[in-house]
């Protein structure tokens, strides 16, 4: 199981969400995640930014993990 935590920094519904993201195993590595949302025709466009990753390997791993999570979210929303 992957354990992580974070703190909401900014919430501007329905436009922007900013929060910290910290793996429990590496508490000294704090990532800042910024999600912005906007209309794109009949759909919602999300821009996802993250900062604070120290290495290219860490960036690659996070990219794969977040993409997988977003794919699963898309599947769930389609099924609902």
CATH number assigned to the domain comprising residue 32: 3.30.530.20
Residue range of the domain that includes 22: 4-79
Strands (E), 1-80: 4-5, 8-12, 16-23, 30-40, 43-51
Lowest-confidence region among 12-21, 31-40, 57-66: 57-66
Q: What's the number of domains the chain is made of? A: 1
Picking from 39, 4, 41, 45, the residue whose alpha carbon sits closest to that of residue 23 is: 4
Give the model confidence (pLDDT) of 17-51 as tens digits.
Answer: 999 999 899 888 899 999 999 999 998 899 999 99
Task: Please classify residue 32 by burial: count the beta carbons closer than 10 Å to its beta carbon, then call 0-12 exposed, 13-18 middle and 19+ buried.
Answer: middle
CA distance 27 to 37: 29
């Amino acid at each position: 199981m992957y354990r992580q935590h974070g703190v909401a920094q900014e919430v501007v519904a329905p436009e922007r969400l900013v929060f910290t993201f910290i793996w429990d195993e590496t508490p000294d590595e704090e990532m800042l995640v910024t999600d912005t949302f906007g209309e794109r025709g009949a759909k919602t466009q999300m821009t996802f930014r993250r900062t604070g990753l120290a290495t290219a390997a860490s960036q690659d791993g996070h990219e794969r993990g977040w993409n997988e999570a977003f794919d699963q979210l898309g599947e769930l929303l389609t099924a609902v």
